[in-house]
Amino acid sequence: MTKEEKYIYDFFKNNQEDLLELANTEAGKHLLGADRKETVAGIAPNGYAIFLGKWKGKLHFVSRYNTWNRVAADFMPALFKLRVANKHKKVDSFYKGFLHYSDLLPDSKHFAPIATGAMAAFLAAISVSTPAGVFVPPLGFFLGVDTFTANGGGHGRVYNNSSSTYSTVRNATTGTVDSGSTRPSNSFDNPNYFIGHAHAPFNLDTTIPAGAVIKDTANTFIRATGDGAAVSNADTDSVSVVESSQASNTSLASGDYNDLGTTKLAADLGIGSWSVSGNNDRDLNASGVALIQAAIGGYVKFGWRTAKDISATQPGGRNYVGMVNNTNVLSVDWEVPDNAELYGSRRIHPIAFYGGFKPAAY
């Protein structure tokens, strides 16, 4: 973990109470994309957990993950600005202050404007009191310049494009990394063959504790959002969800072109049924659930490729779909037993847990 990543994760760990308070407000749920009736039980830089309830001696949750620190990007800058504001004038309403500094509330004279100089001075004060070697966020970190992808970056596309034979392109061991575009494809555009593989790694070590059991339900799925561009389906192809064995969790390399598996982790989605601008959800099958179960405490890595790429079927035309980069979402239904074996003699409270830290007992 880099110093920057540790700063982000420590921020969420140390501010979990405030973050959960905000996450369970209407504004917080709006930012997360959670339903207004849902109870947010845990919040992390790259996702959050919802408490579904308790039955048959089990506590049931659903965790939703992004491939990057999207939640940190939404919550950290506003909380940081609140801290700076409190240095100058006490903010009377924590929630309204959050709304204001999240740009969800029109400018108000009740909230101190956060000038760049004030933020720089605050960061300088942090820097002075911070031990050597510890990450101090740059100014852009809280001005929206930083994209909070420190825990992401491993998503995107690796493709091979050549006028060689199809088998040469299909069996190549390296390709070109393109993190700015994600387009699973198996195409022929005379004279070139083009195969593209999409990668989507998710860090599970944030809201699912060790000992959890992943459930094979409709709440366990992977999502990709169409990028608005028209699809091509010359050969009536489909899109498949498979496992990625990319070497790095946070970056792609040319060798990752050859790192997608062939076992399908969900039912194929025909290119003709692909939502060009909407969400494309695929319920994970038993193999997909098993992949997540084995990855608890670390990363689970998915990939998208076309079905005819998997079967090595030579294309006669262009076949591809487009995904908005950074939009892959993983939803995981899981449960833990409410008993002494897992959490000790005290019952657990389903609110306020984070990462490898057990739920707070009461």
The CA-CA-CA angle for residues 233, 307, 289, to 5°, reads 130
Residues 189 and 249 in one domain: yes
Q: Which range has the worst mean pLDDT, 33-37, 142-146, 283-287?
A: 142-146
178 and 311 inside one domain: yes
Instruction: List the domain range (segments joined by +) for residue 161.
Output: 156-335
User: Do 45 and 192 share a domain, yes or no?
Assistant: no
Same-domain pairing of 31 and 127: yes
Residues 111 and 224 placed together within one structural domain of the fold: no
The verdict on 141 and 251 lying in the same domain is no
Whether 127 and 103 map to the same domain: the answer is: yes
Separation in Å, CA 319 to CA 88, 138, 186, 196, 272? 58, 43, 5, 10, 10
Whether residue 281 is contained in a domain is answered as: yes
User: For 271-282, what is each residue's pLDDT tens digit?
Assistant: 999 999 999 999
Counting beta carbons within 10 angstroms of the beta carbon of residue 97, is it exposed (0 to 12), middle (13 to 18) or buried (19 or more)?
A: buried
Query: Is a pLDDT exceeding 70 seen at residue 1?
Result: no
Does residue 356 sit within a domain?
no
Helix, strand, or coil (residue 208): coil
Please count the structural domains in the chain: 2
| CA pair distance 123, 87, nearest whole angstrom | 12
162 and 141 housed in the same domain:
no
**pLDDT: which is higher, 296 or 104:** 296
21 and 69 fall within a common domain = yes
3-state secondary structure 82-148: HHHHHHHCCCCCHHHHHHHHCCCCCCCCCCCCCCHHHHHHHHHHHHHHCCCCCCCCCHHHHCCCCCC
CATH code of the domain in which 172 resides: 2.60.120
* pLDDT surpassing 90 at residue 352: no
Examine the pLDDT at 119 and tell me if it is beyond 70. Answer: no
pLDDT digits (tens, 9 = 90+) for 41-86: 888 888 898 888 888 888 888 999 988 888 888 888 777 777 666 6
The pair of three-digit structure tokens given for residue 43, joined into one six-digit string: 């919040």
Q: Which of 52-56, 140-144, 222-226, 289-293 has the lowest mean pLDDT?
A: 140-144
Residue that is written with structure tokens 């040319």 in the block: 254
Q: Is the dihedral of CA 186, 312, 291, 356 positive or negative?
A: negative
CA distance 101 to 86: 13
Same domain, yes or no: 140 and 180: no
Angle 211-217-221 from CA coordinates, rounded to 5°: 90
54 shares a domain with 195: no
Indicate yes or no: pTM above 0.85. no
